[in-house]
Chains A and B, each alone.
Chain A
Amino acid sequence: MTLPASAPGRIALDFDALYRAARDDVFAYVATLLGDRGAAEDVTALAFERAYRKRKSFDAARGTERSWLFGIARNAALDELRRRKRSATLVTEPAAVQPAPDEELERTLRRAAVRTALAALPARDVELIALKFHAGLDNAELANVLGVSVSNAGTRLHRALTKLREILDDQS
């Protein structure tokens, strides 16, 4: 599904490769932002369909394929938030309690604590965490998706991490 370049300065977009590389990342980002796995599945599918329909409009000069795709996914997720008109709740599915060794149990508890702290963050900070740690974007891609400078994206990310650590400290 590689497309020929349609205009000077544009490179062919290998949609299949992009899909294979980013499917789980997009789902993770959307699911974290919406806090609803079912809605995340619908929004992720919608985002990839939109990207497929608009694949000829991809312009490499304006950012990487991943940042372009996550921009589409972000719009779809925000449209879903607008449609629902209710606050997104983070994925708070209780982790299955499995009999485990002590160190594994401790890790499970810490993971649950992080989830709880994440749920307490404002949505904008949750989005930053999701883009960075769940979608695996670097700071430049993150800045491109949010439409801010790289330094500003770094500052926001650091601020979100600081808040998260403060919440974790309060919990402990």
Chain B
Amino acid sequence: MTSPETLELQAVDAALAGRYVAPEHAELAELALLLRDDRPEPAPAWATHLDRRVEAGFPARPKRRFVWVRKAVPAVAIAAILLPIVALAALSTSGTDDSGEGGSAGSAPAESVEPLSSADRDSAAPALPRAQSGGDPESDRRDTRFQQRSASLTLAAPRRELDSVANQVGQVASDLGGFVRFSTISSNAGGSLELRVPTRRLDTAIERLSDLGRVRELSRQSEDITRSVVSARDRLSDARAERKALLEQLADATTVNETESIRARLDIVAREIAAARASLRRVDNRASFADVRVALVPSGASDEGAWTPGDAFDDALRVLEVVAGVALIAAAVLLPLALIWLLAWLARRGVTRRRRERALDMA
């Protein structure tokens, strides 16, 4: 069943459309037509003016001065946020590269490291360890001093050659009378090896190792162990002297008790001599063999003359990592700002809508 309200609205629509209207709604229909016919019409001059503006696509009004300054404010603000982020990312990236090469404080920069010349080797040659000779801890004479030497080397090689270079490193140690004490190598990421080579051949070892790849870093360490050597020798010498004296006392002993007492003391001195010899061997070993730590890393574009597709892929991956990092940081900064802006925009929109409706109520 249709309500009177609906019937009247239908009558209005029928009247406006020029259709038949039932007699009981004739007055309403007449009112509808009166309202329609009495609508305000625009002035022809204004209509013509507006027509021209529409045809021209509503030409922009003359720009006010310094508008570009106001327009540039958001861009400047965004740049002010992003620039420090990019700078931080760049700094952190370069810092990672440096630290990733390993090395110790005081080591020579990669650029300054070149294979040593013969003159360099001569000048850097240490006093050869002379375990059999004497030495005074207080002496400044180089030929009487003992040194424990070691070196650290970072070699860069193409990723596909890392295994081969690692094998060659071991071969160098073997050729020079040394050995590989420890190694851990990954085909893709490189690794490290710890060599023991005769100290007198350390420079030769470094020279040959330097030929196996691009030397990114080289450092040498040296420690004077003359005092340890002298101390070990003195202990051995003292023990031997005591044994000699005890043997003489034993030859002169007349009683059983005296003889047994001297023999007991001789046993103790024999153990002291053994311990002193072992100590002397250890310190002699420290002086005779040098530790060489070799770090193997994949080379990048800067290490190779030729730039291979693999290098390009690595570089592209690195660029993507940096870009992703920057984007993540930027998102962390911008997302909250965007959320705040969105909430403010929604609030402003709601307030504006309420004010408009209120203006209509107050009109």
Contact = CB atoms under 8 A, between A and B. Distances in A.
Contacts of A136: 16, 36
B38 A124 contact: no
B42 A27 contact: yes
Nearest to A153: B9
B31 A158 contact: no
Interface in A20-35: 23-24, 27-28, 31-33
Nearest to A31: B40
A16 interface: yes
A79 B355 CA distance: 9
B253 interface: no
B8 interface: yes
A6 to B, nearest CB: 18
B58 A52 contact: yes
A24 B5 contact: no
B5 A78 contact: no
Q: Chain B interface secondary structure, helix, strand, loop or mixed?
A: helix
A46 to B, nearest CB: 10
Contacts of A27: 40-42
A79 B363 contact: no
A90 B359 CA distance: 15
B28 interface: yes
B5 A158 contact: yes
Contacts of B32: 133
A165 B5 CA distance: 14
Interface string B12-24: 1100100000000
Interface string B335-363: 00000000000000000000111011111
Nearest to A139: B9
B40 A32 contact: yes
Contacts, number: 110
A88 B54 contact: no
Interface residues of B, number: 37
Interface stretch (B45-53, B121-129, B218-226): B45-53
Contacts of A62: none
B28 to A, nearest CB: 7
B43 A154 contact: no
Contacts of B5: 154-155, 158
B351 to A, nearest CB: 12
B363 A23 contact: no
B356 A16 contact: no
Contact of A78 (B35, B36, B356): B356
A14 to B, nearest CB: 12
A154 B359 CA distance: 23
A72 interface: no
A37 interface: yes
Given A133-B36, A158-B5, A161-B28, A81 B54 contact: no
Interface in A119-139: 122-124, 127, 129-130, 132-134, 136, 138-139
B41 A41 contact: no
Contacts of B58: 48-49, 52-53
B349 to A, nearest CB: 11
A32 B39 CA distance: 8
B54 A52 contact: yes
Given A53-B58, A157-B9, A87 B42 contact: no
B31 A114 contact: yes
Given A24-B42, A154-B6, 19 more contacts: A23-B42, A37-B43, A48-B54, A49-B58, A52-B54, A53-B58, A75-B356, A79-B356, A81-B359, A81-B360, A81-B363, A91-B40, A114-B35, A123-B363, A130-B39, A134-B39, A134-B40, A165-B27, A165-B31
18 contacts: A19-B54, A24-B41, A33-B363, A45-B53, A48-B54, A75-B356, A78-B356, A78-B357, A78-B360, A88-B363, A91-B40, A110-B34, A118-B35, A132-B12, A133-B32, A134-B40, A161-B28, A161-B31
Return the 9 tightest CB-CB contacts between A and B, nearest first.
Answer: A123-B363, A78-B356, A134-B39, A133-B35, A31-B40, A28-B39, A81-B359, A82-B359, A27-B42
